[in-house]
Structure 1
Amino acid sequence: MMNNKVMLIQVFIVLFLCINLLQITTFFSKEVFYTTMRYVLFAVSLMSDCLFLFLADILLILSYYRFTIQMWLCLIIYMVSSLYTFVTPVTLTAMTLERYVAICLPLRHAELCSPRSTLHGILIIHSLSSLPCIVVLSIFFASASSASYTQGRLCTVEVFLIHMWQGHLRSAINQFYFLIMCISIVFSYVKIMRVAKAASAEDKQSTWRGLRTVGLHAFQLLLCLIQLWCPFIEAAVLQINLMLFINVRFFNYITFILAPRCLSPLIYGLRDEMFFHALKRLALCCLRKKH
């Protein structure tokens, strides 16, 4: 039987998967959405969040019931979950830079944020997001014996960290990504702030709206990036008390793994007027069909 905490997580995940899937359907309902960079990046983050939430839940249930799986299957799950751990924060950074271009470089926005540039941006996002996983797995493949791939193990990232220095290298890569993304967010915020102060009365409203969006992205990104520090906090707490460790890990899972992935629909989808109206129409159509 599942305890109350795990059941609560299942409710959260099902609820937000339904919301995200509804918004993904809305994205494909209008041509303007899948031909505009900011909406495409939003859809990428939604799809990334759905896949991440699904895999994170599978790993949680496997861990809770102490199920072991063969290493080759764990390898596939780890590759996908590791990739999409980074896709969301990198996409958020790209969305922030798109707002910077739209507000600070409006004459170049059409050129820099064209459909072709959007496709290139998605490829760059996934390439950058895959690098930490490639580094960890390259060292694992070089160190692990061939027999280890058929062994049954609890599926956690720790099974791929054979040497202690691998953990330090992984941490260094995570902190480097954290630094670059923070610099990008701060740079965009400061530039947009300057434009907002100098904007005319009619432009001020849209500029300040863009500034608030960047601020919300920064908050969401901060939650995503704190996730990279959770293993250090949990390792320190484990040395103190096992029950405290379990409670801290549950808090970290809700706050820094689930919450950032559930904020995208609220931050972007519901705040964007055009997208919100399309979403409302789709939801009303679905309700009418049921009746």
Structure 2
Amino acid sequence: MSYATQSQTNITVGRDLLERMVLSTLTTLPCCVFLFINGVMLFTLRSKTVFRETSRYILLFNLLLAETIQMAVGQLLYLLAACRIRLTYPVCALIIMFSNLTNDISPVTLVVMSLERYVAVCYPLRHSAIITIRNTAVAIIVVWIFSSLNVLTRVLLLLDFPFEDLESLQMKDFCAEENILLDPMSYEYDKAYTYFLFVSATIAIICSYISVMIAARSASTGKTSAFKARNTLMLHLVQLGLSLVSTMHNSFLGAISTVVTRTVLVRIQIFLYVFIVILPKCLSPLIYGLRDQTVRSSLVYQTCFHLKLSEITAKAEISP
């Protein structure tokens, strides 16, 4: 009887291990593909002078950098959870705060990019004087400082928790943001800040969109430029919406977990993680890589060059 029980246990453990390996592979492969695409895009945006000296491409680089870091950190946390590796609270908090920093940078950068398009259409004669390389650099620094202040506030709230009352600093669950919000005040602050950030960003982008639409009806404004800016602002709204949905990923899972079994929940989690968390982080290079002719030509060249270089390297390693 004990032998049969042990065999059944071994089968269950083996099946669970196989399932975790398969699911980890299903998330890691697309993540690696998207990281490669983002990496090529980042390299492309630094490869030419026109990209390094144009404000909208500099802002795009900042957005892509933040989203690439988010994707890498998110996949790291997922693999740690899949491997059932439990971190200590300080280590987990450090990773989560770094993830929050880049997660906040994305919507704020989208607002700055929308304002840049607003100035380009509504004040075309003053665009070159307002949107300079120096002002763009200052805007990016302000974005990082603003996001860092939010992270600092989260850290201060976290430090206010009486960790000495815990039996150990070792976490009892996997590393995730909801598992380090030990103090109710931290949870309320996180919720309030998320609402404030996305409502403010949505209002700013919508106002820019309305202003561009009004300018598009004016005879003094280039209609082609105005309609391109309008489409870009619509894409920014879509990106902002996907970023918000990504932020609410854990809330969705919490609500779903009450009505489905654990096995179904895991499968739903994989689906949501790939299509809500990972895929939107690759949306920016796809949007700008396909819409912008300058970026598209450079991106195709860089991608083909890297693939050809990889083939040459692989052949060199195989040949004696």
Name the TM-score, length of structure 2 as normaliser.
Answer: 0.83
**Partners of 2:34 and 2:297 in 1: CA distance:** 19
How far 1:63 sits from its partner (Å)? 0.8
Correspondence for 1:64: 82
Greater Rg over alpha carbons, structure: 2
Correspondence for 1:255: 275
Correspondence for 1:88: 106
**Partners of 1:101 and 1:205 in 2: CA distance:** 15
AA aligned opposite 2:111: T
Correspondence for 2:251: 232
Q: Is the 8 A contact 2:105 2:144 kept in 1?
A: yes
Q: Deviations over 1:187-243 (max 9, x none)?
A: 01111111122246x922222112111111110110101223333332222222343
AA aligned opposite 2:146: L
**Partners of 1:117 and 1:194 in 2: CA distance:** 26
RMSD (CA atoms): 2.3
Q: Is the 8 A contact 2:242 2:276 kept in 1?
A: yes
Correspondence for 2:92: 74
Q: Is residue 187 of structure 1 aligned with residue 226 of structure 2?
A: no
AA aligned opposite 1:203: G
AA aligned opposite 1:282: Q
Aligned length: 290
Identity value in percent: 29
**Partners of 1:266 and 1:205 in 2: CA distance:** 22
Correspondence for 1:128: 146
State which drifts further: 277-286 or 72-81. Answer: 277-286
**Partners of 1:15 and 1:80 in 2: CA distance:** 23
Correspondence for 1:145: 163
State which drifts further: 57-66 or 142-151. Answer: 142-151
Q: Is the 8 A contact 2:66 2:106 kept in 1?
A: yes
Equivalent runs, 1:272-291 vs 2, <5 Å: 272-287=292-307, 289=309, 290-291=311-312
**Partners of 2:271 and 2:149 in 1: CA distance:** 28
Q: Is residue 32 of structure 1 aligned with residue 71 of structure 2?
A: no
**Partners of 1:286 and 1:169 in 2: CA distance:** 45
Alpha-carbon distance change, 117 to 150 in structure 1, aligned in 2, over 3 angstroms: farther
Alpha-carbon distance change, 231 to 48 in structure 1, aligned in 2, over 3 angstroms: same
How far 1:268 sits from its partner (Å)? 1.5
Correspondence for 1:43: 61
Alpha-carbon distance change, 199 to 253 in structure 1, aligned in 2, over 3 angstroms: farther
AA aligned opposite 1:48: A
Alpha-carbon distance change, 165 to 238 in structure 1, aligned in 2, over 3 angstroms: farther
Q: Is the 8 A contact 1:96 1:188 kept in 2?
A: yes
For structure 2, which runs of at least 5 residues remain unmatched after alignment? 1-17, 313-320
Alpha-carbon distance change, 172 to 247 in structure 1, aligned in 2, over 3 angstroms: farther
Q: Deviations over 1:243-262 (max 9, x none)?
A: 35434433332233212211
For structure 1, which runs of at least 5 residues remain unmatched after alignment? none
AA aligned opposite 2:200: I
